[in-house]
Chain A
């Protein structure tokens, strides 16, 4: 990867349609590397999630057209919430296969064209329309069901195992899980205060999060990402050209994808696919994935780590930008990606490992800086214009690894010192498709 650009994500960008948004991000990307002119781009991979939101089929062709890239090759990428992450990997594959020397990955979504609850309906059409959608058509409801079971498996059955009354034990476990989800929400909103691209940066307290409106028990408003308009681009090329375009290229050393059943109800109760640091005996009594964990995320992580030669992601990654559509799914994803073991996600957050060491949060974070997760603010605070989101993560990771956060954000607060290797994670549906990509410094500082 040699450059990238992002538009500021916003509730609505009425003065820009999707073509102009992509053009703005593309101009930003090209501005930094004068040797990379449009004629050097061999083609594109263009991503957006929903034709319903855009009310324009073949919108990717219109982006290709607007950028003046015709008659070069281009393909539209759609993979639900993981659309942006998959677009990034599709561009990687175009270059890695030798088909292109230089490939543009561009993604966008214009979700402001419908009202919020109609937008939720469009998103919920990405659930089985025979069995799932007619029950309420609501993704927050699906994630609430999942985290309820996650809390049951990992808090009710451990910390609250001594409480005999089942209802009371579950209530207390859910309150504890909610409190820890609130820590994650505070982290992401507060990190975003230093990211000028973020849609909803704000200082919050745990109580403010917990007292925000209940959307689907136990998920409250501040634990949930919003709908956005936005675009992001990344330009990928082969290694020889990379050094011609920039003295700080970033290598993509691992790519992984994973899948699972469309319907949550169909998820099997089997064994955990293990990372090199885990043993089968760690999970002897765990039915996996059920509806508490994301097997697709685990599969994507295993593939990407293997390719990048990572055996212990906790120690070998400097940061992770992951798909926190919900504070709950951030905690679940810590475990899927092996940042901690299954069952340790709540402790991992509470100990402060995923927090920034140089930011003062309104509670103690003893291990802060151990492995920052979503230093940018993630989806919860940056916004989630679906087709752009995975590429936004790539751009933020790229700037992080180049050591150029200050240049692009206007301040260096979110720059992780000496960041050498990071992971980005893009997630679809109720976990039906996930991508993980590993990015590393491709230069000596």
Chain B
């Protein structure tokens, strides 16, 4: 007979054992045993930016692109591009956005999901642009919690080594 996996009555200890051997038995307060195994799961997605491609290519060139409704009577301007207009349904066209704006809202994250925990604390910000009807969601850098306020002028910075992600652009306080 093979040895059974070790038994623990604390779930934390089960998790620790899973890290070591990948198997454990959890015994609950009623004396019921549950066999628990570790099951790794990883995927490399083939993720296409599809109709948003132009935006991500522009970031690599140090430019911000939005989109504008092609219907003259509408003309809604989107700071986060959309292929079709939300207001009237017409197709949009690409436009250049100014690389500066103002904070519409912000937060400092002291935690994040697993993939981003090592980057904490980080700031998230919604930026509003002169002449645009919608916002852009970005990281805000080179400033700390106590300095940041809604309405603060900010400007864009671009990653010289693009990763082709929304994090290729970030904003910093505008230095006057």
Residues of A within 8 A of B (CB): 11-12, 14-15, 55, 115, 117-118, 120-121, 123-124, 129-132, 134-138, 140-142, 144-146, 148-149, 152, 156, 166-167, 170, 213-218, 261, 263-269, 290-291
Contacts and interface: CB of A to CB of B under 8 A. Distances in A.
Given A170-B150, A266-B78, 7 more contacts: A14-B14, A132-B166, A135-B166, A136-B113, A156-B150, A215-B109, A216-B108
A149 B104 contact: yes
Contacts of A135: 124, 137-139, 166-167
- Counting chain B residues whose Cβ lies within 8 A of the other chain, the interface size class is 35 or more
Contacts of B108: 216-217
Given A146-B105, A263-B137, A136 B122 contact: yes
Interface in B56-91: 56, 78-80, 82, 86-87
Given A131-B166, A134-B167, A266 B86 contact: yes
A145 B28 contact: no
Given A120-B112, A135-B166, A137-B115, A264 B135 contact: yes
Q: Which of B39, B78, B104, B119 has the most CB of A within 10 A?
A: B104
A145 B105 contact: yes
Interface of B: 11, 14-15, 26, 28, 30, 32-34, 36, 39, 41, 47, 49, 52, 56, 78-80, 82, 86-87, 104-117, 119, 122, 124-126, 133-139, 145, 147, 149-151, 165-167
A149 B113 contact: no
B143 to A, nearest CB: 12
Nearest to B39: A55
B15 A136 contact: no
Contacts of A120: 111-114
A136 B105 contact: no
B35 to A, nearest CB: 9
Contacts, number: 151
Given A129-B47, A166-B151, A291 B104 contact: yes
Contacts of A14: 11, 14, 26, 28, 34, 36
Contacts of B119: 136
Contacts of B116: 136-138
Contact of A152 (B82, B86, B105, B145): B105
A118 B41 contact: no
A170 to B, nearest CB: 5
A137 B112 contact: yes
14 contacts: A131-B52, A134-B165, A135-B124, A136-B116, A137-B112, A137-B115, A138-B109, A141-B109, A145-B125, A213-B110, A214-B110, A216-B107, A218-B107, A265-B80
B149 A166 contact: yes
Top 6 nearest A-B pairs (CB, nearest first) are: A121-B113, A144-B107, A137-B113, A120-B113, A149-B105, A265-B135
A117 B117 contact: yes
Nearest to A217: B108
A167 B149 contact: yes
Contacts of B165: 134
A217 B105 contact: no
Given A145-B124, A166-B151, A265-B136, A215 B110 contact: yes
Contact of B105 (A132, A137, A148): A148
Contacts of B124: 135-136, 141-142, 144-145
Contacts of B47: 129
Contacts of A124: 113
Contacts of B49: 130
B113 A117 contact: yes
A228 to B, nearest CB: 14
B166 A130 contact: yes
Given A130-B166, A146-B105, A138 B111 contact: yes
A267 B134 CA distance: 7
A138 B80 contact: no
A269 B133 contact: yes
Contacts of B151: 166
